[in-house]
Amino acid sequence: MKSLFTGAFVITAVLLPLIFMSSACIPLYTETNNTHPPGYCLTIRQYPGMEPLASFPLEKENQFALTFIHSVTVTPVRDNYIMTAEGICQTSEIFESHCAGLPYSDKETDATKWEQRDGKFILHMERKIPKLVVRTDKNYKNRLHLSDQTIDLNQWEDQALLLEITPADIHQ
């Protein structure tokens, strides 16, 4: 029985965090096209099952945002992202109240600037995101914002979702 417990501990404490944190970003652009990835999609998958749920062509855009209601402060949070040659990069986090899990200064990892504007705190950053996994909960209004549409991530049951850049041809 002890070996079963030890094995479960290793899987839970060691392997799962490594799976969540390790992933190489695949370069998507060439030197001549660094504004957006023609022929690519932002794909949403169940995680870790990897079942595709939706895919959105990235014809014009190289940025997107995720919004949600913070579980403690019950205030809106917006995370802004850009797609770069190295993959997905978080560029800012905007929120109204300080609380656990939210940044508090320009000393945060990968921070470039801290400001307060229009009653909101804004942490600017250049944070590479090797694997963007979003834990959804219908109580927190998880949304994906593209330039021309907003996708309700709570349309699927509460779960972990992987957002990744994929070639468009795999969706045809």
Rounded CA-CA distance 96/94 in Å is: 7
- Phi, psi for 6 (deg, rounded to 5): -60, -45
Supply the pLDDT for residue 99. Answer: 67
In sequence order, the 6+-apart residues with CB closer than 8 A to the CB of 114 are 103, 105, 106, 121, 122, 123, 124
Rounded CA-CA distance 51/84 in Å is: 25
Q: Give whole-number Cα distances, 59 to 36, 41, 147, 167, in Å.
A: 7, 8, 11, 12
pTM: 0.73
Q: Where are the domains of the chain?
A: 26-171
Rounded CA-CA distance 86/73 in Å is: 33
Supply the pLDDT for residue 101. Answer: 61
Instruction: For residue range 115-157, list pLDDT tens digits in order.
Output: 889 989 898 999 999 999 999 999 999 999 998 899 999 999 9
Which residue numbers in the chain have pLDDT < 70? 1-38, 59, 98-106, 169-172
